[in-house]
Structure 1
Amino acid sequence: MRGHGQPEISGSESEEESETMRCISCKVEYGRHEAGTCKECYEEASETEEELKREIEDLKAKVAFLRFWSPLDQLSRSHGGPCYTDVVLVASSQDGPAVPVPAHKAILVSRSPVFKAMLENEMEESRSGAIKISDISYEALRAFVNYLYTAEACLDEQMACDLLELAEKYQVKHLKAYCEKFLVSKLIWDNSIISYAFAHQHNAKHLLDASLSLITDNMDKLTKREEYMELVEKDPRLVVEIYEAYLSKQVNTAAHKDSSIKQ
């Protein structure tokens, strides 16, 4: 029985006071009116977040410090030309006079086993100090060399394709994966056949699988398109692979539906 003069406590208020919850960090009990974590855990989490920010800034500073200076940086700032470079790369397929892209042998050798073989052995490129690269534009070659120094590239779909070709040719795996990831992000059913043929040509497995999946999901639309007809004429082997994947997907879908019905 409630004593005289004592305030009446409603059922909801009584339940709220009596109900306890646990801190999501340390699992200590706290009242419902308190925050989702206890004060100690909240302060500790804030300190951890600040620590993480400082570590990220330190890491960025180390990367900036360790990054090898690119001769292309000097070219963009002055007309005096880069210092201490000992090799040039030339895009031999461009129209007009060839513009050399300067570089350091030490960088090329450390980034590419193909350049390493060229420059450490008595090959023409090692003796002449010039490496001619065919079927590539000056812009793509410049972007390629810049990536070897900075691990950065400004990509559109054409540049990503050009750089992926160079990365495949010179076995720069990091750049190839970078370009492949970009091209996969740009995949739509409309460009899936062209992307599939390109990926097959340059051993880009991630792009190949993603393209093939889109193709098999849109066979009714794609088989009527001009690029599909061209693929039939130029490389029927790829068309066979596409149909094999399509039929396999149909069989698996049918089997899954059948098992769902039985359950």
Structure 2
Amino acid sequence: MWCHSCKEGYDEEDAGTCKECYDEASETEEELKREIDELRSRLLFLRLPSPTLDAASAPNCDLLLHAIPSCPSSSSGAGGDGDAGRAPDTPAVPAHRVILASRSPVFRAMLENEMEESRSGVIKIYDVSYDILRAFVHYMYTAEALLDEQMASDLLVLAEKYEVKHLKAYCEKFITSKVNNENAITHYAFAHRHSAKQLLEASLSVLMDSMSTLADREEYKELVEKDPRLVVEIYEAYLNRQVNTAAGKDTDCSSRK
């Protein structure tokens, strides 16, 4: 029989399209679905001026967000608890509660109930820098962010924490586009921690192509110490691919006979 797409011959038990063309069409369909979801997410935004960039709108805001960066010394000695409650050194990031509540179910629950943040109008965001928090609030208004890999990673973590799904997907797509042989191990571990499926698959695919040198890398040795379970998963995925490849070759040989 002949494939309707590539016009090549294929086994009779296949229906209308060869496996290669079917798989390619499925990948294209998934990519189109992701693009449609991204466009729908962007349509949810009201395109209001962001108070983080527009000084004129800041006085009208009814919330102040404070970034409380993680402190390396907070886990040692008696200073830890004091650091957690300390006054932030950076300026507050202004925002409107109606905007945050409409973008994030976590903020909605916080602001629509009698929680301290709702009464005081002050929200402390822990383990984040001022620049990341400012970019986070700006995205909540505009669906835009100027990303590099570090910014995208930090924003993804914050988006996951506050369940801003469209921002998480936006950052994940950016990081996925930057995956290469040098950073695949780091991104694979990061994707596991934050349930980033697209990034996980892209990182694993790169790792599969460089298994011969994998064990020589410092990142690999660190992963063995910190999370050996992930190392096992990488090798299991590699073995499965080898088995599937061998099975595919056997099928091709049988069809030629």
User: What TM-score does the superposition give when structure 1 sets the normalisation length?
Assistant: 0.71
- Partner Cα distance (1:68, 1:200) in 2: 34
User: Which residue does 1:214 correspond to in 2?
Assistant: 206
Question: Corresponding residue for 1:140?
Answer: 132
CA–CA distance in structure 2, aligned partners of residues 87 and 94 of structure 1: 22
* Alignment check: 8 A CA contact 1:87 1:104 kept: yes
Specify which of 148, 165, 169 is matched with residue 156 of structure 1: 148
- Pairing of 1:106-117 with structure 2 (within 5 A): 106-117=98-109
* Matched residue type, 1:73: L
- Residue 237 of structure 2 aligns with which residue? 245
Aligned equivalent of 1:55: none
**Number of equivalenced pairs:** 196
Distance in 2, Cα, partners of 1:175 & 1:227: 28
1:227 and 1:138 mapped to 2: Cα distance?
A: 29
Task: Report 1:1-263 matches (<5 A).
Answer: 66-75=46-55, 82-93=58-69, 97-263=89-255
Tell me the CA shift for residue 94 of structure 1. Answer: 6.7
**Aligned match of 1:49:** none
Instruction: Single out whichever of 191-200 and 212-221 deviates more from structure 2.
Output: 212-221
Q: Secondary structure, in 3 states, of the residue corresponding to 1:73? A: coil
For the 8 Å contact 2:46–2:141, the answer to whether it is kept is no
Give the TM-score normalised by the residue count of structure 2: 0.73
Q: Percent identity?
A: 64
How far residue 154 of structure 1 moved from its aligned partner, in angstroms, is: 0.3
Q: Alpha-carbon deviation of 1:135?
A: 1.2
Distance 2:202 2:50 in 1: 35
Contact 2:160 2:168 in 1 (8 A): yes
Give the letter aligned to residue 161 of structure 1.
S
CA offsets per residue over residues 134-161 of structure 1, 9 Å max, x none?
Answer: 1111111100000000000000000000
Residue 83 of structure 1 deviates from its aligned partner by 2.6
Cα pair 1:68 1:150 within 8 Å, conserved = yes
Cα 1:150–1:81 shift into 2, 3 Å: closer
Quote the offset at 1:66 in angstroms. 4.3
Distance (whole Å) between structure 1 residues aligned to residue 46 and residue 148 of structure 2: 28
- Could you tell which deviates more after superposition, 212-221 or 190-199? 212-221
Q: Distance in 2 between matches of 1:223 and 1:121?
A: 51
Task: Give the C-alpha shift of residue 101 in structure 1.
Answer: 0.3
Contact 1:88–1:131 under 8 Å retained in 2: yes
Q: Which runs of 5+ in 2 are unaligned?
A: 1-42, 72-87
- Is the contact between residue 159 and residue 168 of structure 2 (CA under 8 Å) also seen in structure 1? yes
Please give the root-mean-square deviation of Cα atoms over the aligned residues, in Å: 1.7
Deviation by residue 1:60-104 (Cα, 9 ceiling, x = unmatched): xxx8x94122212323xxxx7713100111111178713210000
Q: Is the 8 A contact 1:192 1:214 kept in 2?
A: yes
The structure having more radius of gyration, on CA atoms, is 1
In structure 2, give the amino acid aligned to 1:74: D
Q: Which ranges in structure 1 are unaligned for 5 or more consecutive residues?
A: 1-62
Q: CA-to-partner distance for each residue in 1:117-146, whole Å, 9 max, x for gaps?
A: 111111111112111111111111100000
